[in-house]
Amino acid sequence: MSVKLNTYLLEAQKANINPFEINVKVASDVSVSLFEGKVENVTIANDSTVTGRGIYNGKIGAFTSDTLSKEIPSLMAKNIVESATYGPEGDPTLFVGKGQKYKKPKTYYPVLENVGVNELTGIAQRVYEGAKRVAGVSEITVNVEYYSGKSEMNNSLGLKLSSKRNYVAVACELLAKKDDLVESNFDAKYVTEISSFDPESFGEEIAKCAIHKLGGSSVKSGKYNIVIDQDNIATLLNALIGNLSAFDIQHGVSLLKDTKGKKVLSEKLSIDLKPVSDCVFGSSYDAEGTPKQNLKLVKNGVIQTYFYDLETAKKDGTTSNGCGTKQGNNIRPEMDYIVVKPGKLSSDELVSEVKNGIYINNLTGANAGLDPVSGDFSLQASGCLIEDGKLTKPLSLITLAGNLLTMFNEIKSIGSNSKETLRGCNCPSMSFESMSVSGVEE
């Protein structure tokens, strides 16, 4: 850090800002992009952010800067005083003091520290070579990035926290072509152990999926038994479980309002909040400095708790469970890394059990076609037809519609094929009966 955090605390003290909190983040990023096996771009970036908030004359003010120059501590104190003039009432009890106990998950991997442009290029090249094993693919773009970041949080109550994380992110996008048919496919993955990552297999699988999409047709509109893969289950579950925010519940804009202690989902569904996990999504404290906790969110369909920060917890007469998240200058409780309890059926067994129906491995349009407050959704989908318990021809140009609450209350089966998705949701595939699919009208 170019300026010691104590300097910010001293400037805040001189300005009579009390309590005061300072949070500094610094990060570096090295990225290599390949197109058709040739290096297209190399980017090296260093970023920093400093945010401060505090109470002045009974009101709260805040300040954010993307530079850590020596002028910032005094400038921050001045701006917090000015913004507090027009800010809301400040509550000193919404600042965390020292003496808390923190569990520290493994989020930093020293073995990655020496990863540079040459190694990133080598990984990207191997992903490309894996994709090229599959005939009929072209315009292969591969991006490999190394990220390393450190955060420090101090406040005038004696709180001193720090954390760091690093990882490699690998992404590949390509086209599959046959005659006049064209399909695309994309996938990405976080890597923390390069030695256990197989770049060729990663690229090859993306290419195979693209080829399999070629020639996709629609189906007749109607009710179908459905199997949905892990990534798309994560999209739907995140939208549903995000409704457990105590802020949304207290403001009457949550689908899961007044559901604590009630069975509103399938008894087959159990979900844990697990931020204290050894993975890229792990963390030991939230945006307010409250210790993170691993909690039961859903047990056999029964809602166990909501997501709380300090303010919403105080309003409900409980304690924060470490879900405070920065939203601009505000703190709001939000979902963290969640883990769905897997079932016993493999992916093939889920398909076999359905016997005849549709396997969905792509849902698009969630930003416009999914209302998390009502739970209603209508999303463009693609995948495969299931006939006699086997995946057969590719499907496209179909729409899956339903309601999140109804859907996850009527789960047929949960798979054993758990996957850590990019959405911070570790979940398996699931199957459902009689869901609405729009395709070709009779």
Over residues 370-379, the pLDDT tens digits come to 999 999 999 9
Q: What integer pLDDT is reported at residue 3 of this predicted model?
A: 65
Tokens of 101: 């106990």
- The predicted model gives 305-315 an average pLDDT of 98
- The predicted model gives 94-116 an average pLDDT of 96
- The predicted model gives 156-170 an average pLDDT of 98
- The predicted model gives 110-123 an average pLDDT of 97
Model confidence at 440, pLDDT cuts 50, 70, 90, reads confident
- The predicted model gives 267-275 an average pLDDT of 98
Q: CA–CA distance from 244 to each of 271, 333, 386 (Å)?
A: 12, 9, 34
> What is the C-alpha separation between 165 and 146, in angstroms, rounded?
11
Contact present, 284 and 104 (Cβ < 8 Å): yes
- The predicted model gives 132-146 an average pLDDT of 98
CATH architecture, range 5-210: 2-Layer Sandwich (3.30)
Q: Using one digit for the tens of pLDDT, what is the confidence trace for 359-403?
A: 999 999 999 999 999 999 999 999 999 999 999 999 999 999 999
More confident call, 2 vs 249? 249
Task: List the chain domain ranges.
Answer: 5-210, 216-442
Q: Strand pairing of 425-427 and 338-340?
A: parallel
Mean pLDDT for the chain?
A: 96
Q: Using one digit for the tens of pLDDT, what is the confidence trace for 7-33?
A: 999 999 999 999 999 999 999 999 999
Q: Using one digit for the tens of pLDDT, what is the confidence trace for 176-192?
A: 999 999 999 999 999 99
Contact present, 216 and 394 (Cβ < 8 Å): yes
pLDDT at 137 over 70: yes
- The predicted model gives 293-315 an average pLDDT of 98
Q: What's the per-residue H, E or C state across the chain?
A: CCCCHHHHHHHHHHCCCCCEEEEEEEEEEEEEEEECCEEEEEEEEEEEEEEEEEEECCEEEEEEECCCCCCHHHHHHHHHHHHHHCCCECCHHHCCCCCCCCCCCCCCCHHHCCCCHHHHHHHHHHHHHHHHCCCCEEEEEEEEEEEEEEEEEEECCCCEEEEEEEEEEEEEEEEEEECCEEEEEEEEEEECCHHHCCHHHHHHHHHHHHHHHCCCECCECEEEEEEECHHHHHHHHHHHHHHHEHHHHHCCCCCCCCCECCECCCCCCCEEECCCCCCCCCCCECCCCCECCCEEEEECCEECCCECCHHHHHHCCCCCCCCEEEECCEEEECCCCEEECCCCECHHHHHHHHCCEEEEEEEECHHHHECCCCCEEEEEEEEEEEECCEEEEEEEEEEEEEEHHHHCCCEEEEECCCEECCCCEEECCEEEEEEEEECECC
- Label residue 110 exposed, middle or buried (CB < 10 Å: 0-12, 13-18, 19+): exposed
Neighbours of 283 (CB within 10 A): 20
Q: What integer pLDDT is reported at residue 33 of this predicted model?
A: 98
- Label residue 104 exposed, middle or buried (CB < 10 Å: 0-12, 13-18, 19+): middle
Tokens of 378: 């209508």
Residue 28 bridge partners (DSSP)? 46, 148
CA 163 to chain centre: 19
Model confidence at 442, pLDDT cuts 50, 70, 90, reads low
> What is the C-alpha separation between 277 and 104, in angstroms, rounded?
9
- The predicted model gives 118-133 an average pLDDT of 98
- The predicted model gives 123-152 an average pLDDT of 98
> What is the C-alpha separation between 59 and 86, in angstroms, rounded?
8
pLDDT at 354 over 80: yes
Contact present, 40 and 26 (Cβ < 8 Å): no
Radius of gyration from C-alpha coordinates of the chain: 24
> What is the C-alpha separation between 24 and 69, in angstroms, rounded?
12
- The predicted model gives 256-277 an average pLDDT of 98
Q: What integer pLDDT is reported at residue 1 of this predicted model?
A: 47
Q: What integer pLDDT is reported at residue 377 of this predicted model?
A: 98
